[in-house]
């Protein structure tokens, strides 16, 4: 693991390089330092900049837009963000996973994440642009995790002092336009589909779920992929307008060198492709799920179903990961067609790839050693999405800004674990149908709620149907059976007061399985005198009567968190955009 | 007993005459001589040349007042004619345009191709003068594409004045064009008249967020609205049905975003109120549009500082004001559509020469109170490829001031010097698929 060596040294080198570059640009741009905004006040630029640090807005330290030559297209900005979180009930969490061998402390610190995001945009001309996003993350060792991370043998005896730290390029791409063709080349995130919370048509990028709850932090958990990503405009065709086709080809080579240093060394020797799949939390980590204590029959009390009854021995199986290898066959590809007809925006997509979440396969035979190997089988997705505003008649309804969104994705061969002992691998396949219907009300004028803001609500109903009639399918690693129709209902409402200074959001996802609720309300506070910094307060609560409910989220039961996030923006260089 | 009645009558007469003399203001002059300086002491002499919003600010009878040392210099009126090609199109096509009454009671033009639909708005059915003036303003000349960096400042009752956002706007006219070097309709642009693309550059938490507003060629249809949300990495479809919803963080409502004319004009009763000369700053100093100002104030070389109760207003360095001949029209929602609408009345002062309708706008609340007032300061930008044509742009060297009297808040939006038409080509702004189509939103941070 090359990148794991001397992380602090590497970080220092990167920081030094960044600083040198910045000062080089500063010197280069000095004669052309526009800083017109600063000069405008008749005060020295450094005085104004100092003031702007605390009370000002987003004036760039260097404005190079009017500088001659290549530098005029360079923009560098970003933010520093600290997220501090506390368990809502840390004492109760000492028992979290105890039956499976985890032994947590009662320490209340759940999150202490420090993030530096640095965006570099380079505008060469109207047809050529570059974008780089750097992420530097530092998280301290967590006492709650001390000695409770699963090691190579599956025993909970490790700690992860630097697992959550990262210092890497997140997005890095060049976009070039030539006539009707626009090509994006590099590391990118592509989001398809209509949902704001569920992954239905959003099939392209994996997620890093190791440091957060993905349901409450979809964007920041996405993992970019190296890809070739063209858009081709298509001509109007009768009533079909805004036509284009978008293609994606991702390389099998998707390296990840930070946040993959698991104590169980699951990706040993596979770091060149570790970025192609979801990064799961380390076993016993803060965002790990409630483990099922009875993996094999020999461990289970009489009458209790084991997760893998196919394993006949009495020794806990070892676990290994077989990531999609770095071969041409493991590249992924797909396309999406887009059109606009009769005020309805419609897309159709095809996606050939591998699963992003692993499925444990039982390897070996009952006569030999049996183990678990996590694999990522291939898949084909076919989907369609549609949205359109709904205009109704009548005094009241005509002013209601309804938008209907819907999407459906059929997958040909989804792997499921089974408790059927006639399946030695412990895996069966079924096609699945993932659908969503959503109704939005955008920017409702609600003077009874806010005279300076509006009200936006989203209601989403997600249905996941397993088309096979098989009744033995269980959640991976659990003995709890899949429902053939899994339902999730999301409600989101947001408003603002004092011209956006106080912006509360109420979000909840309900799943009837175990009456599971995932709440993640938040309020963002932005001072009226500046938006250079802001504070967000959030509660993430998981309530459930079923702690083995993997799909509904009951497996996080008890891990409710209070979060406070402080963000400070900076704008180092402002160029043309 | 002395009869006191004659004495009382005499006293009353004397007091009455004195009161009448006190309330008498000098007769309004027919014009304001160039070189006049208007200030908080002498402004009443020129009240006849002011919009209701400007008058209210000078009066200081509400929370918002003018700066104490305000000086407003008046210069000669300088012509801002419509572009030559636009006038040619007016001559060519205006005869075929007629107003059609809809079942709602409102009116829309039929047969419009390009240019002014009604070059002689005072001729014809007197009841429809307001409609004709409105539609002239609706279709007033705009270039094929215009781009400008824009900034938003807000000022609250406690004196917090903050540059809350920076954005870039690319506005594209897609149909009914009267531009040299461009066809009448942009091919592959769909059934749209106008596209407004605005992408946020700062603050960082909103960076890359973008809104695309497509105005259909059919004026009775609602705009189509798309928003790119960086935290979702995709665009969302929005609805514009809620015309009175505030635009996040500002005093503008969705129905104010067209800088004058509201959406769904067929739902309005439009009345012609007469002609009026009004003071306007329409030949502002171009240097004032080089930078927006400081983080907490507009450019102090050109604007008085905003403070609690004091509006940031142009200094003399910003340029000379002039008298513009305007048509004054009033827009009220038709009775069946008035319930719940944001304003009881919108008064537009529409320039008689070029039909620019955003110079001054007065917005009245349900109780007849002046709810908000908009005043803009700008200079006409030259149109590339023409000899001397100029236009007052929607996004360009233009500062919009919207004063919210009711909520004691104000929004100022300075836009800087811009590029127009061919001058925008090198930056790719003529690309319809990027800046005038939902496809463009799928190319942000991708």
Tens-place pLDDT, residues B359-408: 899 999 988 999 999 999 999 999 999 989 999 999 989 999 999 999 99
Average pLDDT along chain A:
89
Q: Which residues of B touch A56 (CB under 8 A)?
A: 163, 294-296
Q: Do A244 and B433 touch (CB under 8 A)?
A: yes
Q: Which residues of A touch B439 (CB under 8 A)?
A: 231, 233, 242, 244, 338
User: Strand pairing partners for A517?
Assistant: A510, A543
Proportion of chain A above pLDDT 70, given as a percent: 90
- Write out residues 7-66 of B within 8 Å (CB-CB) of A: none
Q: Is the predicted pLDDT of residue A514 greater than 80, yes or no?
A: yes
Alpha-carbon A31 to chain mean position: 43
Name the residue among B241, B290, B292 with its Cβ closest to that of A398: B241
Q: Do B296 and A51 touch (CB under 8 A)?
A: yes
Q: Is the predicted pLDDT of residue B418 greater than 60, yes or no?
A: yes
Number of inter-chain CB pairs under 8 A, A vs B: 244
DSSP tag of A86: E
Contact between B299 and B317 (Cβ < 8 Å): no
**pLDDT (mean) for B410-424:** 94
pLDDT tens, A22-77?
A: 544 544 444 334 344 444 455 666 776 666 666 655 678 888 988 888 899 999 99
Which pTM value belongs to this model? 0.90
Nearest to A229 by CA among A174, A169, A296, A154: A174
| Least confident piece of the model among A138-147, B10-19, B366-375, B424-433 | B10-19
Contact between B233 and B213 (Cβ < 8 Å): no
**pLDDT (mean) for A353-378:** 94
Between CA B406 and CA B24 the distance in angstroms is 30
Between CA B360 and CA B328 the distance in angstroms is 10
Q: Do B299 and A40 touch (CB under 8 A)?
A: yes
Proportion of chain B above pLDDT 70, given as a percent: 93
Name the residue among A191, A443, A532 with its Cβ closest to that of B242: A443
**pLDDT (mean) for B78-91:** 97
**In Å, what is the CA distance from B64 to each residue of A249, A443, B56, B309?**
59, 28, 8, 5
Between CA B238 and CA A440 the distance in angstroms is 8
Between CA A122 and CA A175 the distance in angstroms is 10
Phi-psi category of residue B220: left, alpha or beta, with phi > 0 → left and psi -120 to 50 → alpha:
alpha
Task: Count the Cβ atoms, other than its own, within 10 Å of residue B445.
Answer: 18
pLDDT tens, A121-168?
A: 999 998 999 999 999 999 999 999 988 899 888 888 888 888 999 998
The CA distance from B363 to the nearest CA of chain A, in Å, is 16
pLDDT tens, A281-319?
A: 999 999 999 999 999 999 899 999 999 999 998 888 899
Q: Do A78 and B204 touch (CB under 8 A)?
A: yes
The ipTM estimated for the assembled molecules is 0.90
pLDDT, position A132: 97
Between CA B369 and CA B179 the distance in angstroms is 41
Predicted confidence band of residue B295 (pLDDT cuts 50, 70, 90)? confident
pLDDT, position A128: 95
Between CA A555 and CA A382 the distance in angstroms is 30
**pLDDT (mean) for B235-261:** 85
Between CA A204 and CA A250 the distance in angstroms is 9
pLDDT tens, A411-420?
A: 999 999 999 9
pLDDT, position B276: 96
**pLDDT (mean) for A491-511:** 96
Largest CA distance in chain B: 99
User: Strand pairing partners for A136?
Assistant: A116, A167
Q: What share of chain B is helix, strand, coil (3-state, %, to 5)?
A: 20, 30, 45
User: Strand pairing partners for A465?
Assistant: A433, A485
Alpha-carbon A499 to chain mean position: 30
Q: Is the predicted pLDDT of residue B24 greater than 60, yes or no?
A: no
By the CB < 8 Å criterion, does B240 face chain A? Answer: yes
pLDDT, position B39: 96
pLDDT, position B195: 96
> Both ends of chain B: CA-CA distance in Å?
99
Residues in Cβ contact with B388 at an 8 Å cutoff, skipping those fewer than 6 apart = B382
Residue B432, both tokens: 């319809």
Residue of A nearest to B436 (CA): A242
């Amino acid at each position: 693991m090359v990148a794991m060596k001397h992380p602090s040294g590497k970080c220092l080198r990167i920081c030094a390089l960044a600083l040198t570059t910045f000062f080089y640009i500063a010197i280069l741009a000095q004669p052309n330092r526009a800083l017109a905004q600063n000069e405008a006040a008749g005060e020295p630029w450094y005085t104004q900049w100092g003031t702007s640090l605390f009370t000002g807005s987003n004036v760039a330290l260097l404005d190079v837009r009017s500088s001659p030559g290549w530098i005029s297209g360079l923009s560098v900005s970003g933010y520093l963000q600290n997220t501090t979180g506390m368990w809502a009930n840390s004492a109760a969490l000492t028992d979290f996973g105890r039956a499976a061998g985890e032994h947590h402390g009662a320490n209340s610190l759940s999150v202490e994440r420090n993030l530096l995001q640095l965006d570099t945009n380079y505008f060469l001309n109207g047809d050529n642009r570059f974008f780089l996003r750097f992420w530097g993350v530092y998280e301290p060792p967590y006492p709650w995790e001390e000695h409770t991370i699963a090691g190579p043998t599956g025993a909970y005896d490790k700690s992860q002092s630097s697992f959550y730290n990262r210092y890497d390029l997140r997005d890095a791409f060049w976009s070039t336009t030539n006539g009707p063709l626009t090509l994006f080349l590099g590391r990118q995130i592509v989001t398809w589909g209509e949902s704001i919370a569920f992954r239905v048509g959003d099939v392209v990028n994996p997620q890093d779920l190791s440091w957060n709850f993905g349901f409450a932090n979809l964007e920041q958990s996405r993992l970019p992929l190296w890809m070739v990503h063209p858009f081709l405009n298509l001509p109007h065709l009768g009533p079909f307008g805004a036509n284009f086709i978008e293609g994606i080809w991702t390389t099998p080579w998707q390296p990840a060198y930070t946040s993959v240093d698991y104590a169980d060394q699951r990706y040993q020797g596979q770091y060149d492709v570790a970025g192609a799949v979801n990064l799961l939390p380390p076993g016993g980590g803060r965002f790990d799920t409630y483990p099922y204590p009875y993996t094999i029959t020999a461990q289970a009390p009489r009458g209790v179903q084991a997760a893998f009854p196919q394993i006949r021995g009495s020794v806990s199986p070892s676990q290994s990961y077989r990531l999609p290898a770095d071969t041409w066959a493991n590249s992924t590809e797909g396309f999406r067609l887009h059109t606009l007809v009769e005020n309805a925006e419609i897309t159709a997509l095809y996606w050939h790839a591998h699963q992003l979440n692993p499925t444990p396969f039982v390897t070996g035979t009952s006569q030999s050693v049996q183990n678990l190997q996590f694999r990522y089988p291939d898949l084909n997705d076919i989907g369609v999405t549609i949205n359109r505003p709904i205009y109704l008649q009548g005094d009241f309804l005509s002013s209601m800004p309804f938008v209907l969104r819907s999407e459906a994705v059929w997958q040909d061969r989804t792997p499921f674990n089974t408790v059927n002992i006639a399946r030695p691998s412990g895996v069966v396949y079924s096609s699945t149908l993932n659908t969503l219907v959503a109704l939005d009300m955008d920017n409702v004028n609600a003077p009874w709620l806010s005279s300076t803001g509006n009200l936006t609500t989203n209601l989403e109903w997600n249905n996941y149907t397993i088309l096979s009639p098989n009744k033995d399918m269980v959640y991976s690693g659990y003995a709890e059976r899949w429902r053939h129709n899994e339902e999730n209902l999301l409600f989101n409402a947001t408003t603002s007061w004092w011209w956006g200074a106080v912006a509360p959001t109420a979000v909840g996802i309900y799943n009837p399985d175990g009456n599971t609720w995932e709440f993640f309300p938040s309020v963002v506070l932005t001072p009226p005198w500046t938006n250079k910094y802001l504070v967000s307060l959030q509660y993430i609560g998981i309530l459930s009567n079923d702690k083995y409910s993997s799909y509904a989220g009951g497996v996080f039961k008890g891990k409710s968190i209070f979060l406070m996030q402080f963000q400070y923006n900076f704008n180092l260089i402002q160029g043309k955009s | 007993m002395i009869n006191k009645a004659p004495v009382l009558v005499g006293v009353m007469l004397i007091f009455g005459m004195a009161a009448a003399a006190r309330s008498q203001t000098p007769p309004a002059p027919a014009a304001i001589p160039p070189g006049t300086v208007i200030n908080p002491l002498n402004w009443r002499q020129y009240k006849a040349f002011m919009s209701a919003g400007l008058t209210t600010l000078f009066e200081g009878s509400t929370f918002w007042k003018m700066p104490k040392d305000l000086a407003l210099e008046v210069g000669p009126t300088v012509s801002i004619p419509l572009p030559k090609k636009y006038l040619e199109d007016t001559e060519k096509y205006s005869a075929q345009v007629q107003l059609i009454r809809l079942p709602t009671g409102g009116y829309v033009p039929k047969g419009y191709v390009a240019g002014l639909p009604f070059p002689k708005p005072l001729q014809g059915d007197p009841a429809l003068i307001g409609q004709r003036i409105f539609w002239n303003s609706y279709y007033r000349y705009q270039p094929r594409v215009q781009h400008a960096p824009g900034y938003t400042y807000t000022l609250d009752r406690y004196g917090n004045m903050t540059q809350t956002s920076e954005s870039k706007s690319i506005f594209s006219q897609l149909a009914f064009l009267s531009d040299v070097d461009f066809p009448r309709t942009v091919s592959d642009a769909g059934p749209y008249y106008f596209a407004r693309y605005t992408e946020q550059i700062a603050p960082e938490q909103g960076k890359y967020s973008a809104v695309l507003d497509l105005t259909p060629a059919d004026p009775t249809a609602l705009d189509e609205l798309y928003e790119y949300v960086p935290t979702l990495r995709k665009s969302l479809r929005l609805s514009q049905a809620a015309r009175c919803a505030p635009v996040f963080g500002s005093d503008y409502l969705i129905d104010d975003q067209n800088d004058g004319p509201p959406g769904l004009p067929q739902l309005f009763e439009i009345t012609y109120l007469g002609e009026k000369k009004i003071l306007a700053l329409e030949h502002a100093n171009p240097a004032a549009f080089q930078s927006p100002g400081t983080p907490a104030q507009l450019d102090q070389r050109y604007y008085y500082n905003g403070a609690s109760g004091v509006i940031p207003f142009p200094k003399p360095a910003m340029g000379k004001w002039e008298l513009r001949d305007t048509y004054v029209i009033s827009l009220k929602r038709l009775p069946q559509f008035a319930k719940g609408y944001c304003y009881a009345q919108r008064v537009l002062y529409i320039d008689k020469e070029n039909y620019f309708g955003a110079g001054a706008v007065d917005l009245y609340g349900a109780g007849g109170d002046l709810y908000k007032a908009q005043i803009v300061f700008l200079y006409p930008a030259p149109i590339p490829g023409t000899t001397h044509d100029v236009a007052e742009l929607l996004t360009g060297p233009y500062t919009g001031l919207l004063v919210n009297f009711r909520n004691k808040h104000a929004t100022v939006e300075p836009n800087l010097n811009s590029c127009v038409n061919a001058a925008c080509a090198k930056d790719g702004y003529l690309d319809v698929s990027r800046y005038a189509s939902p496809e463009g939103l799928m190319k942000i941070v991708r």
